Amino acid sequence: MADTQEKKQIILSGIQPTGTFTLGNYIGAIRNWVHLQEEYDCAYMIADMHSLTVRQEPAKLRQQILSAFAVLLACGVDPEKSLMFIQSHVYQHAELNWVLACNTQFGELSRMTQFKDKSAKHPENINAGLFTYPSLMAADILLYQANLVPVGVDQKQHLEITRDIAIRFNNNYGPTFTIPEPYIPEVGAKVMSLADPAKKMSKSDENQNAFITILDPPEVIIRKFKRAVTDSDMEIRYAEGKDGINNLMSIYSVLTGDSYETIERDFSGKGYGDFKLAVGEVVAEALRPIRENYDRVMKDKAYLEEVYRAGAQKAGYTAEKTMRKVYRKVGFLAK
């Protein structure tokens, strides 16, 4: 009997270890990572090399990298099912970055919105890495021949330049890289700020009430939701112009599975205070097992080290296969 099992598609995603992950990171990315590992060959990395485009305190960065890796484990990313690694532990990312940088156009890089945004935020440190980071990001994806990359609706530009670089390289040197496609979750792809629902929730927000972190204790979560900005309409319904309530309904819907119609019916006649409390309680309960798992994992440094070392070894094996092909294609002598 013929083997009818199809080869799973490869998904790659990464997250920077700068600050504790937010509820937005969890709903928009990490929560989906856990589900995706059942259907795809998943590779998940802590993108610590990317974090250097902004000045970092070394001791703090080391702690954040370890903490970020532990959070992924606590959220349910399984190293037996998924490839989990720390970017800087796989030297091929830096190697492929240089080759791809030589196949990336200056004009392409200058159009990237992240470069413009970060340059405006950090005018004292507009470094070359900040300008050329898309070639490193392309290396992250193309090293593993990823078919799909989970991206939010506001991150499609990042993947588009990776596709352009890969297509150009393939055209110049022959088939080398898989051209990745975007994977955009249908629900919960974007969680907005609790203080300013017109902008995305961000861990770098100066207003501590604007975001929920994955590791916030229940009382902090509930307090922040009670302070969430809403409109003066006082009716709990999803509608244009009600950004604050829309955001809260979206969060509640994703975590409970209730439709907007069900939420509107269940909270009919109730005030915003009741709904904010309900959302806070749902979020606190959803994050509770993650906090507990995180505390347990962080206490076992030997286990953490074992997992990230094994992940780096597996990632390096796959990455080296791609690098050998790339070096041969561009004309380098075999080692």
Provide φ and ψ at 181, rounded to 5°: -110, 155
Provide φ and ψ at 227, rounded to 5°: -90, 0
Catalytic residue among 81, 200, 226, 329: 200
Catalytic residue among 203, 224, 242, 276: 203
Catalytic residue among 118, 224, 242, 276: 118
Q: What's the rounded Cα separation, in Å, for the pair 221 and 271? A: 19
Q: Is 203 a residue of the active site?
A: yes
Q: Is 314 a residue of the active site?
A: no
Residue located via tokens 């606190």? 284
Cβ neighbours of residue 291 closer than 8 Å, sequence gap 6 or more: 74, 214, 215, 217
Residue 306: CB atoms within 10 A of its CB come to: 12
Give Rg (Cα) of the chain.
21
Q: What's the rounded Cα separation, in Å, for the pair 206 and 117? A: 16
Residue 219: CB atoms within 10 A of its CB come to: 10
Contact 293, 73 (CB under 8 A): yes
Q: Catalytic residue positions?
A: 118, 200, 203
